[in-house]
Amino acid sequence: MERIYFDNAATTPLDKAVLDVMLPYLTEKFGNPSSIYSYGRESKLGIETARKTVAKILNANPGEIFFTSGGTESSNTAINAAVNNLGCRHIITSPIEHHATLHATDHLHCKQEVKLSHVKLLANGHVDMDDLRRLLSTSEERCLVTLMHANNEIGNLLDIHAVGNLCKEFDAIFHSDTVQTVGHYPFDLRNTPVHFINGAGHKFHGPKGVGILYINENVKIDPFIHGGAQERNMRAGTENLYGIVGFAKALELATEHYEEHSKYINDLRMYMAEQLQQHIPGVTFNGDLHGRSLYTVLSAAFPKTEKTEMILFNMDINGICASGGSACTSGADAGSHVIRAINNDPNKITVRFSFSKQNTKEEVDKVVAKLKELI
């Protein structure tokens, strides 16, 4: 059976060119980067070259880039450091963050009695900036603001500069979960008012199990994982050598082809939105589809019927891969906290379609035709 993969916000297929640069580090260049002999030095050079590549693309200092196991570890490191090292006793976040943020902030709220506030959302799912200002201006403690750059389920994009400048005004620490945007948008971190951002290689055709944490050079924190002296004493554990090399190559390729691929993918997304509206009565879209929105994500809400309640299952049987929300919760039928927060309509069933450079209009046509048949 032909499979159509429309769940690229969950993960993307590894690019062949990325695999090619990783293979030598899986075979002959296998040395431990902490070893002082030639094998180790060769591996260490691979990591530091990758760090310089990532830093140059993000317009950061190489000393501000730390390699981790992925977005979850990076977010947890930043959030815990803000509380334990930077004096933040009040966390401001939103109800539609990724669980890596929500569960980390809930844990600190319960275990360390850190105050926790959730900023209000506008009707279209964007952060209410007036409410964020109110929370910051009335807080008696130093604040950590942790808000994602692009929502992984509905695609809404945060105005990262506006939030950063507001945080600067109130001496707040600002962490933005940029897992859905690193590798998909250009960054200029030297001119972005943010203390921490994070990325994950598998979101832009790189390998799984590797990510980055950017820590602004003016911020000094303690390690989150203790042990060896890797990552300049900031992240203990033998480095994921081939993953790091692959991350840098994937980011390089994504940046090189950004203009071409972003336009192609967005055209595909909008084409599918139009086709769904033409052929599926009652379909609506979650989030700010025609405004500030991630070009890879389309969150469609179908009228609830006996047929649409089984839509994901029936799509899977027919070789179509999509999700009902965040893929990170796709083992438990708990519904989406994001959809509940912005569109808690019991008469709608949400499906998230997310696209990559490898998808085609022909695939969109086949999926829409199958949806017509199923619904």
For residue 324, the model assigns a pLDDT of: 85
For residue 334, the model assigns a pLDDT of: 61
For residue 335, the model assigns a pLDDT of: 78
3-state secondary structure 217-242: CCCCCCCCCCCCCHHHHCCCCCCCHH
* Domains of the chain by start residue, with CATH: 4-12+258-374 (3.90.1150.10), 16-256 (3.40.640.10)
User: Cβ(119)–Cβ(127) under 8 Å?
Assistant: yes
Distances in Å between the Cα of 349 and the Cα atoms of 293, 302, 309, 355 are 21, 5, 7, 20
Distances in Å between the Cα of 5 and the Cα atoms of 69, 174, 355 are 25, 35, 8
User: Cβ(108)–Cβ(114) under 8 Å?
Assistant: yes
For residue 325, the model assigns a pLDDT of: 59
Active-site residue, selected from the candidate residues 88, 143, 321, 328: 328
For residue 345, the model assigns a pLDDT of: 84
User: Cβ(351)–Cβ(326) under 8 Å?
Assistant: no
Q: In a structure prediction context, what are the per-residue pLDDT tens digits for the chain, which is 375 residues long?
A: 799 999 999 999 999 999 999 999 999 999 999 999 999 999 999 999 999 999 999 999 999 999 999 999 999 999 999 999 999 999 999 999 999 999 999 999 999 999 999 999 999 999 999 999 999 999 999 999 999 999 999 999 999 999 999 999 999 999 999 999 999 999 999 999 999 999 999 999 999 999 999 999 999 999 999 999 999 999 999 999 999 999 999 999 999 999 999 999 999 999 999 999 999 999 999 999 999 999 999 999 999 999 898 999 999 999 999 998 544 544 445 679 999 999 778 889 999 999 999 999 999 999 999 999 999
Distance of alpha carbon 119 from alpha carbon 96, whole angstroms: 10
For residue 116, the model assigns a pLDDT of: 98
For residue 330, the model assigns a pLDDT of: 46
For residue 329, the model assigns a pLDDT of: 46
Tokens of 362: 């022909």
Strand partners, 301: 284, 350
Query: How does DSSP classify residue 328?
Result: G
143 catalytic per annotation: no
Phi-psi region of 276 (alpha: psi -120 to 50; beta: other; left: phi over 0): alpha
Query: How does DSSP classify residue 189?
Result: G
Tokens of 12: 């993307």
Q: Which of 300, 352, 261 is nearest to 10 (CA)?
A: 352
Distances in Å between the Cα of 2 and the Cα atoms of 5, 152, 165, 267, 366 are 10, 26, 48, 23, 11
For residue 295, the model assigns a pLDDT of: 98
User: Cβ(303)–Cβ(347) under 8 Å?
Assistant: yes
Q: Which helix (H) or strand (E) covers residue 364, if one does?
A: helix 361-374
Alpha-helix runs per DSSP H in 202-302 = 230-233, 241-256, 258-279
Listed in sequence order, the residues at least 6 apart from 55 whose beta carbon sits closer than 8 Å to its beta carbon are 61, 62, 64, 65
